[in-house]
Structure 1
């Protein structure tokens, strides 16, 4: 059976290749690679083929080729490299991979920082918002940027989300005479025009003397920045989350997020999931940003807009919480129903009989299983001579299970 050797080039040029890698290149009859990598072997006697955006053509050449072939890649070919594409399109038994030191590994060595606890992100593959979603969900990230999703663009998105508490290193042109490593912070990244070849490393920094938030259910209401009364009370939050029946990898829509309290409490229940907090009120939006930053919410993305129009670009939900509808309840429920899979749940909090009736009517007509729970809360008043109870308006928690 023919073998295709996919060999990683180290950041130090030809001297970074192992003896076996150099032997395989020397025995090859046809050598594939980018222009920079092919230039490492100016005396190669066989045919050379430049890899650019023509990966489909390269696969066809390899499929039909019967000569000894070597494909040159950067670093580890299976780390955001050409190896994944080749394995998707050709039988894996035809390949042997010979990895080298990746640019990310080299960058961490240069800044003298362990990298086994980092996440690795390609901005080219995920896009700006997807890349930043992963960054804010972790304490340490290495990002392979591109010409559009630059370190400055990533910094601007982090700042927009109020998530700029990272130390930053821009590692440029690694292994070349132009190698440069710039240490800064997220705001400093805005001033840097990075070289096209760079690795961005971000490490979360907590404020000196600050207490890291320890996730609990039922965060006291006064801990949240909010418009008065526009918050789901802590006891209601706990019951609401129980009714949602969240699993670790689900996608949750929080519609009419208000202060973001439900999203923030759901955050640690969805360590491998995603939460989209949707809000249209500009004042609430600013409070949500403050709260996301305060509680270090890792999996919450703020969506500024009015439902249902702003829901079209979101990934389909597994669970939906509706804390406020802005008078569009029926339209929102129709949009949710069109995206929610069978077995999905919608939980809606209502304080008026009108909302309760409308939601119950919709779920009945749409064939959902419906459960309504009424919660009456009374708390003792603090700092009074007598232990008096202060009652709050009853809240109806409507749960719709899609069949």
Structure 2
């Protein structure tokens, strides 16, 4: 399971009476992976009845029969279907596997659970300017664009490859109100219009400078949401917030620890697999300063 979650390029699985090809497919479907895999069954290798089959219709695997001696080979696909049934997508919480991802880092994106919570905390309204700093695959930008078609979203990434991937995902989801921006924050932010909402998913080691620029540029009553994966970045954020204190008092913070796990099949049984922790920090700008709220939970 770990190899699948890490997006390994090639995986060989020795099967038995419990861990059958059908059970492996069931696991593949339950994990909701961002990568797709070609599925091969190799039977009686080296024998007179040797057979190698590629399975393309997973719905038939429940009734599939295979020789007792078989090996399943999974080969990660470099392609993803060009077609996407947009009408079948939910209004909120697009499945991770619907997005194009980095071929060498297939799981690197803001996960569905994080997006759902972060979008709610952004308190989005129509006709807003939104910055998505460290946009990655553009998953947050695209969710915002679909929810608020009258808003303008600027998806900032420091590499040209990431900018190209964001544009590919925008084309895939047919959104035209996301503008991919190639450049490093905070420097590249100077050329953008002042935002009403800011999501920070990556900082490139310049979190202090990014927060200070966001403080200066964010409109009154605006919101910032940070998704932080490390204690060091959380400490940096809280230290920065405390530096904004007025009248000698630290800004109030609210912390909420949420324990989250996804169900995964184990042969004919089911267990829960905990997700790694992420910290969401919500900051609201008022005419006289900032108020900060912190929610923590295992979302990635």
* TM-score of the two chains, using structure 1 as the length reference: 0.46
Q: List per-residue Cα deviations over 1:206-262 (Å, max 9, x = no partner).
A: xx9863454521111111112333211101110000000000111110000011100
**2:151 corresponding residue in structure 1:** 273
Question: Match for 1:255 among 133, 137, 152?
Answer: 133
Query: Is 1:378 matched with 2:261?
Result: yes
User: Contact between 2:84 and 2:173, CA under 8 Å: does it hold in 1?
Assistant: no
Q: Closer, same or farther in 2 for the Cα pair 1:371/1:278, shift >3 Å?
A: farther
Unaligned residue ranges in structure 2 (runs of 5+) = 1-81, 246-250, 287-300
Q: List per-residue Cα deviations over 1:300-325 (Å, max 9, x = no partner).
A: 11001110111011000001000000
Aligned residue pair count: 197
**2:180 corresponding residue in structure 1:** 302
* TM-score of the two chains, using structure 2 as the length reference: 0.61
**2:189 corresponding residue in structure 1:** 311
Structure of larger gyration radius: 1
Cα distance in 1 for residues equivalent to 2:223 and 2:271: 38
Query: Is 1:211 matched with 2:94?
Result: no
Q: List per-residue Cα deviations over 1:277-330 (Å, max 9, x = no partner).
A: 001133322321221111112211100111011101100000100000010000
Cα distance in 2 for residues equivalent to 1:209 and 1:335: 39
Q: Closer, same or farther in 2 for the Cα pair 1:224/1:377, shift >3 Å?
A: farther
Q: Closer, same or farther in 2 for the Cα pair 1:296/1:371, shift >3 Å?
A: farther
Q: Which structure's relative contact order is higher, taking Cα pairs within 8 Å and 6+ residues apart?
A: 2
Unaligned residue ranges in structure 1 (runs of 5+) = 1-207
Q: Closer, same or farther in 2 for the Cα pair 1:292/1:357, shift >3 Å?
A: same
Q: Closer, same or farther in 2 for the Cα pair 1:286/1:384, shift >3 Å?
A: farther
User: Contact between 2:91 and 2:147, CA under 8 Å: does it hold in 1?
Assistant: no
Q: Closer, same or farther in 2 for the Cα pair 1:371/1:319, shift >3 Å?
A: farther
User: Contact between 1:276 and 1:300, CA under 8 Å: does it hold in 2?
Assistant: yes
Q: Closer, same or farther in 2 for the Cα pair 1:297/1:369, shift >3 Å?
A: farther
Cα distance in 2 for residues equivalent to 1:209 and 1:241: 26
Query: Is 1:388 matched with 2:271?
Result: yes
Q: Structure 2 matches for 1:4-403, cutoff 5 A?
A: 211-213=85-87, 214=89, 216-226=91-101, 227-367=105-245, 370-382=253-265, 384-403=267-286
**1:43 corresponding residue in structure 2:** none
Q: Indicate the RMSD between aligned Cα atoms, in angstroms.
A: 2.3
